[in-house]
Structure 1
Amino acid sequence: MANRNSFGTFLIIGPTCFFLGILFSSFPYDYNVLWTNPPDREIFFKILEDHIKFLYASPPLISRILHIVIGTGLAGFIFKLYKANEANYLFDGASLVLYMAGITVYITNIVKGFRVVTAGLYGNIPEPVEGQADVDYITREDTLRVFAASNTILALVLVGVLVLQAGQWYALRKEEAEIAEIDRAEEEKKKAGKKKQ
């Protein structure tokens, strides 16, 4: 069972770290859009926009590898939750919820952001038309901020997956140590009982 859990954990941690590496490489682009307020922010929006367009124009092999890695992580969860024990349900179930939340953020915000930025279909506010209801439009800057914030949210979700997997590993090691201690104490009692006889 321990080997089975270890292999499943490897299938989860590998893709999670892979995605965190991708997000870390995007962090320099996102940082200046989200957390700093330089005098000329336009240059940073342009850099992020060019980066997104470059990534979107990458060969199809890149996105296929990414989707295979996503599938590998899901396979790890299925592997660990098949014939699962209580610890698997608790830690792996919560990890799976976070992983699926990350996939949702990826599909709804990041993939959509790639398409919007590449096509340049930002919501430019048109002249108001009499009799037409007000419509909210998302500007270029807001679109790029949402993209950068989605990367940050995804990174936090993936760190949560790693924390839960580490928590499960710690809980299992602690349980094994306690069982070994109980077995050792029982063995000593047996030896003491034999000596009395």
Structure 2
Amino acid sequence: MGKGNSFATFLIIGPTCFFLGILFSSFPYDYNVLWTAPVDREYYFKILEDHIKFLHASPPIISRILHIAIFTGLLGFITKLYKPSEANMLFDGASLVLYMVAVTVYLTNIVKGFRVVTAGIYGATDIPLAEGEENDYVSREDTLRVFAASNTILALVLVGVLTLQAGQWYALRKEEAEIEGFAKEEEAKRKAGKKNK
């Protein structure tokens, strides 16, 4: 693996670990909403709701840093896939697909969740429905559960990106070791041939 390729890998792994850290810090809020059934469930919904509102109201520099990190990861993929080898196509191609799934979940569920929760526009509304039309609004609890589940999905997808990058590193190291072994065997055969002459 060349120096340029190693730097591109760093550009992918750095932002991915950064996002996993953000998701880990949100895990205490998500855990009680998704996986436990505490007696006072409303208390945990309120905590998550306040947390989301607080994050959405954070200064613009916070979202800009996050978006810079997202584009840094994409830059790493573009760099690695500029002149791809077979290993790059397999591992980096699959990693890029997972990374784009994460970006899509972020844009569709997380960003939308921030806006919906901050505005408080969930649940049944007073808008009259036409005959035969169903109320397709999502309740407050379901909105918060979807938000928490989206964080979990993001974490799993990003762990997949790291796993593929680690798999690529291992495969390349194994290939280099095999090539080095073949070279040593060839050198030994050549030396043995010279001695026989």
TM bin, normalised by shorter chain, reads over 0.9
Relative to structure 1, is the Cα distance of residues 133 and 7 closer, same or farther in structure 2, using a 3 angstrom cutoff?
same
Matched with 1:89 is 89
Q: Which moved more, 1:98-107 or 1:125-134?
A: 125-134
Matched with 2:144 is 144
Alignment of 1:98-117 (within 5 A): 98-117=98-117
Structure 2 distance, partners of 1:127, 1:68, is 40
Name the % identity.
77
Matched with 2:27 is 27
1:134-180 per-residue CA deviation (whole Å, 9 max, x = no partner) reads: 22221000000000000000000000000000000000000000000
Structure 2 distance, partners of 1:130, 1:164, is 50
TM-score by length of 2: 0.97
1:17-61 per-residue CA deviation (whole Å, 9 max, x = no partner) reads: 000000000000000000000111000000000000000000000
Matched with 1:18 is 18
1:83-128 per-residue CA deviation (whole Å, 9 max, x = no partner) reads: 1111001100000000000000000000000000000111225598
Relative to structure 1, is the Cα distance of residues 129 and 61 closer, same or farther in structure 2, using a 3 angstrom cutoff?
closer
Structure 2 distance, partners of 1:33, 1:79, is 39
Q: Could you say what secondary structure the match of 2:69 adopts?
A: helix
Matched with 1:57 is 57
Give the number of equivalent residue pairs.
197
Structure 2 distance, partners of 1:172, 1:133, is 57
Structure 2, unaligned runs of 5 or more:
none
Structure 1 distance, partners of 2:75, 2:37, is 42
Structure 1 distance, partners of 2:119, 2:179, is 60
Matched with 1:190 is 190
8 Å Cα contact 2:129/2:135 also seen in 1:
no
Letter matched to residue 41 of structure 1 = R
Letter matched to residue 47 of structure 2 = I
Letter matched to residue 30 of structure 1 = D
Structure 2 distance, partners of 1:94, 1:139, is 35
TM-score by length of 1: 0.97
Alignment of 1:119-130 (within 5 A): 119-124=119-124, 126=126
8 Å Cα contact 2:124/2:135 also seen in 1:
no
Letter matched to residue 48 of structure 1 = L
Q: Could you say what secondary structure the match of 1:39 adopts?
A: coil
Matched with 1:131 is 131
Letter matched to residue 152 of structure 2 = T
